[in-house]
Amino acid sequence: MIRILHVLSGMERAGTETLLMNLYRHIDRSKIQFDFAVSATNKAAYDDEIIAMGGRIFHYPRYRGKNHFAYKKWWNEFLTKHNEYQIVHGHIGSTAAIYLNIAKKHGRYTIAHSHSTYGKPDAQQILYRIYSYPTRFIADYFLGCSMPALECRYGKKVAHNGNKAQILHNAIDAEKFRYNPEARKKIQNELSIRENTFVVGTVSRLTPQKNPYFTLDIIKQLSKKIPHFKFLWVGTGELEDDIKRIVKESKLTDRVIFTGSVPNANEMYQAMDVFIFPSLWEGLGNVAIEAQAAGLPTLCSIEVPREAKATDLANFLPLDSAETWCDELLNLESLIKSKEYTRKDTFEEIIKAKYDISAVAEWLEKFYLVYDNPHRNGRR
């Protein structure tokens, strides 16, 4: 058995972390074991499951600039002590040029993994780009959830180099998300959603990237036009308190259901009729794949990569007007209420689009087994 060290901020229920847990659950753990280096000091949502599956969690200091040398010292001491890690798989892009460079000096094989594109070029994003830029000259191999994610972080020259870069689909357990009428009834009963209610929803962090204020505009407009309408908001984030305040002030409390972060997000999709995803930027957008796997018409912003269109249920809309989104939702409501409508089973389509976790886990397993051997490909 070989051990892979994944570097993240913390194992909470978010896109990258959920992907890793899906891979962890499906990879052959008699051959491959995942361990995690995280900067979070608090206990995270997936920590107990990681420990139960034989994984280990290490806490490195969060990089703050002024602790540059202490940060480097931690990584040097850690890699000196832990010779069992021949592969370091980095998911934190901002400091990848530091910790992956140290790992290389210790003779480890290094992977830089891009899970997103760059957002609005504000001061924080500019600093991120400056810090992360050298990574393209350091890592041995590059993975990305989509071609835009690879190109944005590592440049087109790296992204299109078939010997050094690969798209690793943000795969899901397709069977787990398959439409289930019984699960729909169960969740709607638990959330006190009446049978004839039109349920629009999203599963995303309440953070600027996910464009929650635009989502609020859609909710406001839709609530004026559909008497029986609920919005199911699954997730949490730094904007949660402000979003809830606006919902309350707008007298929309009876329209919006906030679930917070939940372990059964797959069941939440069952309770929805339509899924919206108006992100300002995305590397891919796992939740759009999950929504389609649940048979939901899925409205994405045009900022979401087209690779997220795993089925014909996904459509892309501009972010210039919430009214455009509202009109499309009204059209979908009419369609769903018609006698001809049947919720689609997309299981085979998801597999055909290569978004099922089993195949992706198998590919990654083979990849690790090849590159764990330090004497392969001229490495010493």
Task: Name the one residue in this structure whose structure tokens are 């009446």.
Answer: 194
Whether residues 203 and 114 fall in one domain: no
Whether residues 151 and 192 fall in one domain: no
Whether residues 37 and 180 fall in one domain: no
State the Cα angle at 289 between 116 and 283, rounded to 5°.
10
Q: Per-residue confidence at 379, pLDDT binned at 50, 70, 90?
A: very low
pLDDT of residue 116: 82
Whether residues 54 and 196 fall in one domain: no
Q: Per-residue confidence at 119, pLDDT binned at 50, 70, 90?
A: low
DSSP single-letter state for residue 273: S
Closest among 152, 159, 170 to 310, alpha carbons compared = 170
Q: What is the pLDDT of residues 320-375, one digit of tens each?
A: 999 999 999 999 999 999 988 999 999 999 999 989 899 899 999 999 999 876 54
Domain encompassing residue 369: 2-171+356-378
Whether residues 156 and 264 fall in one domain: no
Whether residues 231 and 90 fall in one domain: no
DSSP single-letter state for residue 356: B
Q: What is the pLDDT of residues 58-108, one digit of tens each?
A: 999 999 999 999 999 999 999 999 999 999 999 999 899 999 999 999 999
Whether residues 150 and 106 fall in one domain: yes
pLDDT of residue 45: 92
Its pTM stands at 0.80
Residue 181 has pLDDT above 60, yes or no: yes
Instruction: Say if residues 5 and 35 touch (Cβ distance below 8 Å).
Output: yes
pLDDT of residue 126: 81
Residue 49 has pLDDT above 50, yes or no: yes
Whether residues 159 and 28 fall in one domain: yes
Residue 245 has pLDDT above 50, yes or no: yes
Q: If you average pLDDT over every residue of the chain, what do you get?
A: 93
Q: What is the pLDDT of residues 24-36, one digit of tens each?
A: 999 999 999 999 9
Whether residues 151 and 52 fall in one domain: yes
DSSP single-letter state for residue 164: T
Whether residues 126 and 184 fall in one domain: no
Q: What is the number of structural domains in the chain?
A: 2
CATH number, domain containing residue 125: 3.40.50.2000
Instruction: Say if residues 213 and 244 touch (Cβ distance below 8 Å).
Output: no
pLDDT of residue 373: 64
pLDDT of residue 44: 94
pLDDT of residue 371: 82
Whether residues 365 and 336 fall in one domain: no
Instruction: Say if residues 154 and 112 touch (Cβ distance below 8 Å).
Output: yes
Nearest-angstrom CA–CA distance, 166 and 139 = 13
Whether residues 160 and 267 fall in one domain: no
pLDDT of residue 61: 97
